[in-house]
Amino acid sequence: MSILDLFRVDGKVAVVTGSGRGIGRAISLALADAGADVVVTSRRSAEVAEVAAEVRARGQRALELPGDLRDQGMPARLAQAAVDELGSLDIWVNNAGGTDDAHVQPLTVTTDEQMRDMFELNLLAAFAGSREAALRMTNGGAIVNVSSGAGMRAAPNTGAYAASKAALLNLTQTMAAEVASQGIRVNAISPGIVPTESFFRVLQFTEDDLEKLATTVPLGRLGKPEDMAAAVLYFTSPASGWVTGQNLLIGGGRDGGRSVEHR
């Protein structure tokens, strides 16, 4: 067997949340390229349909389930649909998240409601998804949480977001310890600067800013969704079969400074 075979996920069924665009789309297509069937889900049904078509074009089955993970019961519906329609649930990627606030602000003017909303979006939805997935991974499996470099340090003006992502890292470690005996591995990735739609909308960067921003990254470029997808494939494949409870910062060597890691 070639070492490259360890990066295959043939016959596995994956749920990727927030998979209609950006990093989630790249993760879904990477898993399909490696042999997995994929449940595609996000709030925008048209984007879900487009990504599902791309998965099928790669010769894999795709299930389209648009919806909001904050709706009660949605994570359980996704997990059960994977089992009922595709035959199992082996991989769960908590990619949905970010922020719905189109501005940044210090913690001193952040309201209780804004903090609760951020934790609901970035932590509670991932918690519920991980729980429902683990309950159905009867033959072991892999869960990957998409956190952020912002959750690993001080993040002035994006404190609520960063706090929710920091909590997600602890959730990763704790759940990994609790489900290891069931053969379920739980890991996280923390993207650095990846210019996605919310990056421009929330942080108000323009295309003209990107070249200057890239100079702050030791490897000399900004991140791409495919950089994140490759790491998720590692964490969900047999290649990482002896790895759990870990977080991988994918930031081109940049681990300090202003927080700009929104998906």
d(CA 54, CA 45): 14
Q: What is the CB-side half-sphere exposure of residue 112 using CA atoms within 13 A?
A: 0
d(CA 231, CA 255): 17
Quick check: is 234 catalytic?
A: no
Tokens of 29: 């297509």
Q: Which helix (H) or strand (E) holds 63?
A: strand 62-64
Tokens of 152: 């690993």
d(CA 28, CA 96): 13
- Cβ partners under 8 Å of residue 3, min gap 6: none
d(CA 192, CA 172): 18
d(CA 64, CA 41): 6
Q: Is 40 helix (H, G, I), strand (E, B) or coil?
A: strand
> Among residues 161, 176, 187, 236, which one is catalytic?
161
Which residues carry out catalysis? 161
